[in-house]
Amino acid sequence: MKSLNAMGLAYGHAVAAKRRTVRFGLLVLGVCVVFSGHITEFSFSKFVENIGAFSSYIDRISHLENGHWVVSDPVEWFWGWKKWLALMAETLLMAYVGTLLGALGALLLCFFASKNMTASTWTVFATKRLLEFSRTVPEIVFALIFVVAFSLGPLPGILALAIHTTGALGKLFAEVVENIDMKPVEGVIATGGSWVHKVRFAVLPQVASNFASYALLRFEINVRGAAVLGFVGAGGIGQTLLEVIRKFYYADVSALLVLIIATVMLIDTVTEKIRHRLLGEQISS
Amino acid sequence: MSKREELRQRFSTEFQPFYQGRLRAFAVALAAVALFAYGLVSLDITFSRIANGLGELLRMVTLMFPPDPGTWTRTGIYLYAMLETVCIALLGTLIAATLAFPLGFLAARNTTVNRAVQFFARRSFDTLRGVDILIWALIWINVVGLGPFAGVLALSMSDLGVFGKLFSEAIEAADEKPVEGILSTGGTSVASVRFGILPQLMPVLLSQVLYAFESNTRSASIIGIVGAGGIGSILSEQIRTVEFQQMSFVILLIWATVSLIDIACARLRFSIIGARAL
């Protein structure tokens, strides 16, 4: 009986301790929230007052100039489809070229960022920090800088995407490389293979499908990113979107948004299919 | 039969010429390179442009060193803007998480009311995610005006899509056995969610929220470029006024803050869920 009581008491203490931690956490969080609300000029009344403006904005972008619902007249709605599709294609191409360049950069750097392929801890450390820097700074910040250096157009956008992609993929690639089976590497070393041989015949066969899968995922993210790079003048459909939003061409806003969302979803589905096949191959082989 | 012949017979695929059975891979690689070349041509990327730009970039980078905020007043302004950025990220993340919590149950196969609701919820999340945060910022600026409030709303919108998807997937991945146990002892369906699913779910959700907070700090630092508060507005202004030393200071400030939050979140995540999910 006594032990049961003791157990009950201990359980009660454990629960109480947990409750105290949770309460303390909630208190800290609450203070942070109130403070943040103050800093960010968060105002519920302003939100309620203006929520009508949001619904009326949605209402306005879903109606044409002549007051009809956009869906009733798709030809009028997508009046600029030739121009817009060309811009969308440019955006996709930017994302593609940027992803490919970035993936190549990541492929080069990832071996220097993984402990099992590079002996020098300094090289590993430096490469890791370099990759971290290029993925922590948002791509649009790079784009802002590159637009000044390379002048307006898709080129600064592509370079910004490429650098960010190198940072993001380099980290993932390095993690994959650090988790490989080292036996093939030892085999290549034992037969007198060079560093290049090691990478080509021992590492790449193990990691290629994972690399491709990650690169495809990045492509998908970069399509989204490329669509807004135009906001800072770095090419793609973003510039036109910014223009129509700022100039209140309501029907065009919705048309461009629909175009972007549909394209992103399409790319999502296609890359997901390919990725499943890539990873499936890896499992079966 | 010599040893080599024997090996050749046993591993015939390894000994065939390297191009056999790889035609498809070659075709894919060729297409990828061709598309890349087409991209370079059609996007007007020439060697001379890159070379000129790199020269210009090098000049800019040398101008950026050493990073220097200028006066103490300016340092104060930058630090306040960074604080505002973090606050935007915190509030945006929390609002999104709070909204996504009930909606996630609607979008999960095992807890939804019916298939139509689930489908609709999933598609709504997809749409919210499909619109980039900068676009959301522009839309909310039209509604509540310029400033950090628009940034908070924009962040919570695009995050709602992310959290909704992640939460509903986590709910679907929850173990059904505790739910069955509670239902079999006469518990209501609400009780089954509260005592069967929530205890499994909370650590996962918290870790996802913490993870998102870090990436949201990064997003919050750019929405100022379109005027939705935070340090981004300072950054885009410095570019226009060519104050490179101060700009590099601000970039370093963003980098340091994001890294700091990353470390702090990793610690918290570790203490909440332990080592297993890390």
Which chain A residues touch B142 with a CB distance below 8 Å?
53, 57, 245
Cα separation, A236 vs A154, whole angstroms = 7
Which chain B residues touch A29 with a CB distance below 8 Å?
94
Asked whether residue B251 is domain-assigned, the answer is yes
Mean pLDDT of B34-62: 83
B199 interface with A at CB cutoff 8 Å: no
Closest chain B residue by Cα to residue A141: B222
User: What is the total count of domains within chain B?
Assistant: 2
Asked whether residue B278 is domain-assigned, the answer is no
A103 interface with B at CB cutoff 8 Å: no
Examine the domain organization and report whether B95 and B59 are in the same domain: no
Helices (H), A40-153: 44-61, 74-77, 81-110, 121-136, 139-150
Q: Taking CB atoms and an 8 Å limit, are A158 and B143 in contact across chains?
A: no
Examine the domain organization and report whether A189 and A136 are in the same domain: yes
| pLDDT at site A165 | 94
Q: Taking CB atoms and an 8 Å limit, are A140 and B226 in contact across chains?
A: no
A154: left (phi over 0), alpha (psi -120 to 50) or beta: alpha
| pLDDT at site B277 | 45
Examine the domain organization and report whether A130 and A241 are in the same domain: yes
Query: How does pLDDT run across B96-133, given as a tens digit for each residue?
Result: 999 998 888 888 887 777 888 888 888 888 888 878 88
Asked whether residue B81 is domain-assigned, the answer is yes
Which domain does B218 fall in, by range? 72-273
- Burial (Cβ within 10 Å: 0-12, 13-18, ≥19) of residue A152: middle
Examine the domain organization and report whether A166 and A53 are in the same domain: no
| pLDDT at site B206 | 85
Examine the domain organization and report whether A95 and A201 are in the same domain: yes
Which chain B residues touch A132 with a CB distance below 8 Å?
259
Examine the domain organization and report whether A38 and A102 are in the same domain: no
A149 interface with B at CB cutoff 8 Å: yes
Distance (Å) from the alpha carbon of A75 to chain B's nearest alpha carbon? 23
Examine the domain organization and report whether A56 and A86 are in the same domain: no
DSSP collapsed to 3 states, A242-255: HHHHHCCCHHHHHH
Asked whether residue B149 is domain-assigned, the answer is yes
Examine the domain organization and report whether B22 and B78 are in the same domain: no
- Please tell me the pTM assigned to this model: 0.81
| pLDDT at site A106 | 93
Examine the domain organization and report whether B33 and B141 are in the same domain: no
Evaluate whether B128 touches B146 at the Cβ level (below 8 Å): no
Tell me which residue in A96, A150, A154 faces B53 most closely, judged by beta carbons: A150
Asked whether residue B2 is domain-assigned, the answer is no
Examine the domain organization and report whether A94 and A234 are in the same domain: yes
The answer on pLDDT for B155 being more than 70 is yes
Evaluate whether B81 touches B237 at the Cβ level (below 8 Å): no
Tokens of B225: 């470029």
Cα separation, A12 vs B183, whole angstroms = 26
Examine the domain organization and report whether A139 and A255 are in the same domain: yes
Asked whether residue A66 is domain-assigned, the answer is no
Q: Taking CB atoms and an 8 Å limit, are A137 and B138 in contact across chains?
A: no
Residue B242 CB-half CA count within 13 A: 7
Examine the domain organization and report whether B220 and B169 are in the same domain: yes
Query: How does pLDDT run across A182-216, given as a tens digit for each residue?
Result: 899 899 989 988 888 988 888 888 888 888 888 98
CATH code of the domain covering residue B252 = 1.10.3720.10
Degrees (nearest 5) of the Cα angle B1, B2, B3?
120
The ranges of chain A with pLDDT < 50 are: 283-285
ipTM: 0.77
Asked whether residue A72 is domain-assigned, the answer is no
How many interchain CB pairs under 8 A, A with B?
Answer: 160
Q: Which of A61, A86, A107 is the last residue of a domain?
A: A61
Q: Taking CB atoms and an 8 Å limit, are B87 and A54 in contact across chains?
A: no
Of A99, A193, A179, the closest CA to residue B36 belongs to A99
Distance of CA A111 to CAs A141, A175, A180, A193, Å? 27, 10, 12, 16
A235 interface with B at CB cutoff 8 Å: yes
Asked whether residue A222 is domain-assigned, the answer is yes
Examine the domain organization and report whether B170 and B256 are in the same domain: yes
Asked whether residue A160 is domain-assigned, the answer is yes
Q: Taking CB atoms and an 8 Å limit, are A150 and B49 in contact across chains?
A: yes
Mean pLDDT, all residues of chain B: 84
| pLDDT at site A98 | 93
Asked whether residue B214 is domain-assigned, the answer is yes
Examine the domain organization and report whether A44 and A160 are in the same domain: no
Three-class DSSP category at A63: strand
Examine the domain organization and report whether B242 and B193 are in the same domain: yes
| pLDDT at site B2 | 75
Examine the domain organization and report whether B103 and B145 are in the same domain: yes
Examine the domain organization and report whether B164 and B96 are in the same domain: yes
User: What is the total count of domains within chain A?
Assistant: 2
Number of helical H runs and strand E runs in chain A:
12, 0
DSSP A216-227: HHHHHHHHHHHH
Degrees (nearest 5) of the Cα angle B213, B219, B220?
85
- Burial (Cβ within 10 Å: 0-12, 13-18, ≥19) of residue B36: middle
Examine the domain organization and report whether A56 and A124 are in the same domain: no
Examine the domain organization and report whether B93 and B42 are in the same domain: no
Examine the domain organization and report whether B193 and B128 are in the same domain: yes
Examine the domain organization and report whether A51 and A9 are in the same domain: yes
| pLDDT at site A99 | 94
Cβ-based neighbour number of residue B158 at 10 Å: 23
Asked whether residue B105 is domain-assigned, the answer is yes
CATH code of the domain covering residue A143 = 1.10.3720.10
Examine the domain organization and report whether B40 and B93 are in the same domain: no
Distance of CA A133 to CAs A106, B61, B263, Å? 13, 15, 15
Which domain does A27 fall in, by range? 2-61
Which chain A residues touch B57 with a CB distance below 8 Å?
145-146, 149-150
Touching B: A residues 163-222, CB under 8 Å: none
Examine the domain organization and report whether A35 and A95 are in the same domain: no
| pLDDT at site B41 | 84
Examine the domain organization and report whether B192 and B229 are in the same domain: yes
Asked whether residue A73 is domain-assigned, the answer is no
Of A4, A43, A78, the closest CA to residue A251 belongs to A78
Tokens of B41: 């041509």
Asked whether residue B5 is domain-assigned, the answer is no
| pLDDT at site A107 | 92
